[in-house]
Amino acid sequence: MAETMSEIERACVEGRSEDAETLLRQTPGSETETVAYYYHLGCVREIQGRYEDALDAYERALQLEPAHRGTLFRLAYLYDLRGEEDLAIDYYKQCVQQPPLYEGALVNLGVLYEDAGRYDEAVECFSRVLKANPNHQRAKLFLRDAEASQVMYYDEESERRRDKRNQVLEIPVTDFELSVRSRNCLRKMNIRTLGDLIHHTEQELLSYKNFGETSLQEIKDMLAAKNLHLGMTVEGMARRAGSRAPAAPVLAPTPPRGDGESVTIGDLELSARSRKALERLGIGTLGDLANLTEERLLACKNFGETSLNEVKQVLRRHGLDLGG
């Protein structure tokens, strides 16, 4: 049984999903209600891109053994990718409570803490990693950021202004009186809020099919009423700390091959932050993504250098690059 499970895990790491599935089906019936079986079932479903089934399998494994470390990490990682940070934090915390030190889980937990503004806890996570491994580059980088955030001057009035601005940016465009043509164009471009809209320039809107000068003026008047304008930047939108992806998992689904430009963003293993940023930009395929520049991506809210590197790696795997 142990040898078969090792072969399944090796097949998963190498991306051989069909071999892993075949080996899994060969598991004796007497062994299908074990932690090892459900954990490896989750691994197989994960590389197949069947994430809901993977989560179900991992949760079942935890019912049988609540402290199973590998399962805790996989659950934390998947929930982090889905943007469910509270669940991810909870599973990472359970994972790092057990010896020996789990560097990857601690770094990911620290990043989540920092994103949530829990800087002291983030510093503690990165410091624990560096105490055991002083040369851990990610922990060094993130520790500096977290320590800098701890001592940032807090301007209460500035925070109030920022909160008020953020509330305005979250107003749905459907709350305004717009022509049918403008409304349809914004919907097709996946522009849902005023915050989404100001990330686009006049030229970008005019380049969209059926979007003309009349619609443009209508949009500009709508934004002006809220003291906004097309192409403006939002304070903190390029803040690097909010854009970092969790450490790469041991297992990852093999991206579809063939016509790289037609691969949809939903088929890719991207962090939740990167995926949400691309959704705000209305990016549906790798072809759409390749037409953007680094500067355009970095101007997007919560999209920083780490997300940029993640996107560039995905493009290179499909023979593409930014800038078309």
Q: Which residues pair with 193 in a beta bridge?
A: 172
Residue 103: inside a domain: yes
If asked whether residues 163 and 131 sit together in one domain, one would say no
Q: What is the reported pLDDT for 126?
A: 94
Which single residue is written with the structure tokens 């680094």?
A: 294
Which single residue is written with the structure tokens 């380049």?
A: 207
- 10 Å CB burial of residue 3 (0-12, 13-18, 19+) is exposed
Q: For 130-140, how does the pLDDT look when each residue is reduced to its tens digit (9 = 90+)?
A: 999 999 988 89
Q: State in Å, rounded, how far the first CA of the chain is from the last one.
A: 50
Q: What backbone phi and psi angles, to 5 degrees, belong to 139?
A: -65, -40
Residues of the chain with pLDDT under 70: 1-2, 151-163, 209, 232-262, 267, 269, 272, 301-302, 324
If asked whether residues 81 and 117 sit together in one domain, one would say yes
If asked whether residues 132 and 10 sit together in one domain, one would say yes
If asked whether residues 307 and 208 sit together in one domain, one would say no
Residue 229: inside a domain: no
* Structural domain ending residue among the three candidates 150, 177, 210: 150
Residue 100: asked if its preceding bond is cis (omega within 30°), the reply is yes
- CATH number of the structural domain spanning residue 67: 1.25.40.10
Residue type, 218: E
Residue 232: inside a domain: no
If asked whether residues 42 and 128 sit together in one domain, one would say yes
Cα(99)–Cα(122) distance, integer angstroms:
19
If asked whether residues 14 and 115 sit together in one domain, one would say yes
Cα(90)–Cα(78) distance, integer angstroms:
13
Residue 273: inside a domain: yes
Question: Encoding tokens for residue 235?
Answer: 């304070």
Q: Give the chain's domain count.
A: 3
DSSP assigned state of 193: B
Residue 258: inside a domain: yes
If asked whether residues 43 and 108 sit together in one domain, one would say yes
Question: Encoding tokens for residue 144?
Answer: 């500096």
Question: Where are any strands of DSSP class E within 189-267?
Answer: none
DSSP assigned state of 172: B
* Structural domain ending residue among the three candidates 170, 197, 224: 224
Q: What is the reported pLDDT for 242?
A: 41
If asked whether residues 269 and 188 sit together in one domain, one would say no
Residue 172: inside a domain: yes
Residue 323: inside a domain: no
Task: Give the residue numbers spanning the domain of 114.
Answer: 2-150
Q: What is the reported pLDDT for 2?
A: 65
If asked whether residues 215 and 268 sit together in one domain, one would say no
If asked whether residues 183 and 137 sit together in one domain, one would say no
Q: For 88-99, how does the pLDDT look when each residue is reduced to its tens digit (9 = 90+)?
A: 999 999 999 988
- CATH number of the structural domain spanning residue 177: 1.10.150.20
Q: What is the reported pLDDT for 200?
A: 78
If asked whether residues 180 and 146 sit together in one domain, one would say no
pTM of the model: 0.51
If asked whether residues 193 and 122 sit together in one domain, one would say no
Residue 97: inside a domain: yes
* Structural domain ending residue among the three candidates 97, 130, 150: 150
Q: What is the DSSP string of 284-297?
A: -BHHHHHTS-HHHH
